[in-house]
Structure 1
């Protein structure tokens, strides 16, 4: 079983970075998806990210070895991780659906599956580092998507959309890398709780982008009750993610002040 390093402040920073990058991703994807289908966009993101990691790991001679997984139990976690990672993208792959209810159900499904994916990836960190884990996941999932992609759609992108596609690829590389590294330093439950603020990041980012580029981005209409719910999400995430660490710190400080 993988044991966190205990550097929870660093883990928190990485989790917040992941939430920020995931939060701004929909703004860029929205423009690219006007020309390309979701499966092809995801394939490009996985291929570019996996390719960058492959080149780096090959250059430093640290490509992952299958032997360290073992004949059964490591290999089983890897296969489960592949499947769960692929299912986590169901909401993205099927964003062409216009039915709002279907979208909500897909988000709920992705959230549920994401929990198991995080646990599976955390186990892989016992034998591979975070970069090796993500490289294998990126390239394997890209291979799974290959029969359904249409890469020539990229030729129809405008210069702006082309840069946004590249930004989406870099977003995937950095965000998932930060997520994997956060799991190495912090408990999976704390990391997942922190990532719950991602929709709020999206809301704020959309509001700002709508003011700067009103021709491309339209702000969401949310009532007072919705704002109240947003505040509760932030408070709840902070309580779950930071509460135990803060309480432990206070107890340790009290123990030093008051001799036992």
Structure 2
């Protein structure tokens, strides 16, 4: 099977990756709020349902769904793998978030773009220049400083916190596998067609264990948060999938590494404006220095030129 190659429109790929990073950076805040009212399976089901209805309706209107002949040639095996691992990632991430905190969840889930980038080097034969390898080292140093306090807390944390962190690690592995399969699927299908199939399949998959009627117990504010989570799923994953069409997966993964910084900044802003919703995170000097290195390392990887 031939491997997928990018279009070369790296500026578009970078822009889409940055938008994805912002949306994924603020997503844990919304999820942390809605998990106070709904269980993880119901939240996951509604996220997939909202994304599927909107994207499926758009593709139907634009007549961009695969025709009957193309359905016979669909890469069903790869679609099944992508669906299973993304479905597992959603639930595992929410379980880990419920047992820890938004910042910790966003920290540990950053294993996923790192694993994705390394996997792309092996599977898609992508290459890092010396500058990009140096950027990976700077990025690693930045995370070590930025999350110094969180990593120290993991050592002395309760069993529940440790379990949640382990679950988040498993979620990261599932996402990395999904992302690499997603990139290969672009060889035969558009990014929107792939995501529509995955959203629809996951909606059916989670229906038996979700509680759709629980939505009637939500307040108007909680309904808005749930809608935000669904729209975030649609737009962020759409931008992510499309970015892989135009840019190398290893570079996209480097940009996604900025998401925890967005999460931490967002948590502090929301904690000031709405102190009853989210607890604030206190930035140390280590964290501020680490943030600088994370940004610098990510940009070195993302914008480094090929030899």
TM-score by length of 1: 0.87
1:24 touches 1:201 (CA, 8 Å); kept in 2? yes
- Tell me the equivalent position of 2:185: 124
Gaps of at least 5 residues in structure 2 are: 101-159
- Tell me the equivalent position of 1:80: 81
What is the deviation of 1:103?
2.2
Q: Distance in 1 between matches of 2:185 and 2:68?
A: 11
- Tell me the equivalent position of 2:93: 91
| Greater displacement, 209-218 / 199-208 | 209-218
2:96 touches 2:168 (CA, 8 Å); kept in 1? no
- Tell me the equivalent position of 1:153: 214
Q: Distance in 2 between matches of 1:196 and 1:24?
A: 14
2:31 touches 2:94 (CA, 8 Å); kept in 1? no
Pick aligned residue for 2:287 from 226, 237, 257: 226
Quick one: structure 1 residues 95 and 19, their matched pair in 2 at CA, closer, same or farther if it must change by over 3 Å?
same
What is the deviation of 1:69?
6.7
Q: Would you say 1:23 and 2:25 are equivalent positions?
A: yes
SS in structure 2 of the partner of residue 127 of structure 1: coil
Q: Distance in 2 between matches of 1:19 and 1:160?
A: 25
User: How much is the aligned-residue C-alpha RMSD, in angstroms?
Assistant: 2.0
Quick one: structure 1 residues 226 and 30, their matched pair in 2 at CA, closer, same or farther if it must change by over 3 Å?
same
1:144-197 deviations in whole A, cap 9, x for unaligned? 111110111111111111111111111111111101110111111111111111
Gaps of at least 5 residues in structure 1 are: 249-260
1:42 touches 1:93 (CA, 8 Å); kept in 2? no
Higher relative contact order (CA 8 A, sep 6+): 2
- Tell me the equivalent position of 2:15: 13
Give the length in aligned residue pairs.
245
Pick aligned residue for 1:140 from 194, 201, 205: 201
- Tell me the equivalent position of 1:163: 224
TM-score by length of 2: 0.74
What is the deviation of 1:94?
4.9
1:4 touches 1:184 (CA, 8 Å); kept in 2? yes
